[in-house]
């Protein structure tokens, strides 16, 4: 069933391909299963992404973005095209940037990146692309295809002059509330789901949870807005239970995989 995807779903689809190497032959480029990710390594731009987008043998960083968004939309090209501002597939590093309306794209020094944004690289020309999975005050963290012939994670100083700019795809829940400070920090989506948080926990994962709860305007047991302090106390447990009830989950006050996924999907 097709649908317009959220940013969290696009990132989950992209993360599936981490560790994938481009192939030496077109035959292996048709295989999607992870057991073939490191098989038939090559440098001729033969990839599943090229096969999927119908442009085999071309530079595939942008096609990786297209493939992830299309798969996150359930294989519905009409929906993927809507998310990508009327464009599918995105096969060169400047197409999506040019297709997006001015309020959903911006240059490095005029845009605050968020998870799910498409990042465009280049100094004199736009020559590479990927997707932002996390941001902190200093770095932007990305998933990229065609990075040294594979799909991998990278990180860059947010001030790097190699970053041309960013595009926000038109996700199903593209609008995010204003939240003080950075939303997620350098936390990988597929990794954060492995953290079961409950009373007594502390650290950046708790801060990420608190910001998501804050965005839902949920309050603590004391009736006050949550403090984003990284400590999982009574107020955070109270707000977590309230969020779980709103999201039709078991209200045990603990943030496990189902709670993380529902919160991240809601945030987009």
Local mean pLDDT, 10-residue blocks, the chain (268 residues):
81 94 95 96 95 93 97 90 94 93 90 92 95 87 95 94 95 54 42 67 80 87 87 93 92 87 76
- Please indicate, yes or no, whether residues 222 and 136 belong to a single structural domain of this protein: no
The CA distance from 35 to 1, in Å, is 26
Question: Is residue 87 exposed (0-12), middle (13-18) or buried (19+ Cβ within 10 Å)?
Answer: middle
Residue 106 is assigned to a structural domain of this protein: yes
- Please indicate, yes or no, whether residues 202 and 148 belong to a single structural domain of this protein: no
Q: Tell me the CA distances in angstroms from 112 to 6, 147, 178, one per residue in order.
A: 19, 24, 12
Residue 183 is assigned to a structural domain of this protein: no
- Beta strands 150-157 and 128-135, pairing class: unpaired
Q: Which residues contact 47 (CB under 8 A, 6 or more apart)?
A: 20, 22, 23, 29, 56, 60, 63, 64, 145
Question: Is residue 72 exposed (0-12), middle (13-18) or buried (19+ Cβ within 10 Å)?
Answer: buried
What token pair was written down for 72?
């996150």
Residue 125 is assigned to a structural domain of this protein: yes
The CA distance from 211 to 255, in Å, is 13
- Beta strands 139-147 and 150-157, pairing class: antiparallel
What token pair was written down for 144?
């990229």
- Please indicate, yes or no, whether residues 93 and 22 belong to a single structural domain of this protein: yes
The helix (run of H) or strand (run of E) holding residue 237 is helix 234-246
DSSP assignment of 2-25, as one string? --PPPHHHHHHHHHTTTT-B-BSS
- Please indicate, yes or no, whether residues 140 and 202 belong to a single structural domain of this protein: no
- Please indicate, yes or no, whether residues 205 and 162 belong to a single structural domain of this protein: no
Choose the final residue of a domain: 132, 167, 202: 167
Q: What is the pLDDT of residue 114?
A: 87
CA angle (207 as vertex; 202, 211 as ends), nearest 5: 150
The CA distance from 10 to 227, in Å, is 30
Sole residue written with tokens 């292996």: 28
Residue 161: helix, strand or coil by DSSP? Answer: coil
Residue 177 is assigned to a structural domain of this protein: no
Residue 126: helix, strand or coil by DSSP? Answer: coil
The CATH number of the domain holding residue 228 is 1.10.101.10
The overall pTM is greater than 0.75:
no
Domain boundaries, position 111: 7-167
Q: What is the pLDDT of residue 173?
A: 67
List, in sequence order, every beta strand (DSSP E) within the chain: 105-107, 118-121, 128-135, 139-147, 150-157, 163-167
- Please indicate, yes or no, whether residues 159 and 254 belong to a single structural domain of this protein: no
Q: What is the pLDDT of residue 195?
A: 60
Total number of domains constituting the chain? 2
Choose the final residue of a domain: 167, 199, 232: 167
Count of CB atoms within 10 A of residue 95's CB?
18
- Please indicate, yes or no, whether residues 136 and 259 belong to a single structural domain of this protein: no
């Amino acid at each position: 069933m097709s649908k317009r995807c959220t940013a969290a779903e696009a990132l989950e689809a992209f993360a599936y391909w981490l560790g994938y190497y481009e192939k030496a032959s077109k035959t292996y480029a048709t295989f999607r299963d992870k057991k073939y990710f490191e098989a038939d390594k090559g440098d001729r731009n033969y990839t599943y992404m090229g096969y999927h987008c119908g442009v085999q043998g071309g530079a595939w960083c942008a096609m990786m973005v297209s493939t992830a968004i299309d798969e996150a939309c359930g294989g519905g090209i009409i929906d993927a095209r809507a998310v990508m501002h009327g464009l599918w597939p995105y096969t060169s590093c400047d197409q999506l940037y040019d297709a997006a309306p001015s309020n959903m794209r911006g240059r490095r020094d005029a845009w605050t990146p968020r998870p799910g944004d498409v990042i465009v690289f280049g100094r004199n020309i736009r020559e590479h692309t990927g997707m932002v999975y996390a941001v902190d005050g200093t770095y932007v963290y990305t998933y990229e295809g065609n990075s040294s012939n594979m799909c991998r994670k990278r990180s860059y100083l947010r001030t790097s002059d190699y970053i041309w700019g960013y595009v926000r795809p038109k996700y199903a829940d593209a609008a995010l509330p204003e939240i003080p400070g950075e939303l997620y920090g350098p936390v990988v989506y597929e990794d954060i789901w492995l953290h079961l948080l409950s009373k007594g926990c502390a650290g950046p994962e708790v801060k990420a949870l608190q910001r998501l709860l804050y965005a839902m305007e949920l309050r603590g047991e004391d009736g006050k807005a949550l403090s984003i302090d990284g400590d999982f106390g009574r107020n955070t447990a109270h707000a977590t239970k309230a969020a779980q009830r709103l999201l039709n989950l078991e209200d045990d006050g603990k943030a496990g995989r189902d709670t993380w996924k529902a919160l991240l999907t809601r945030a987009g």
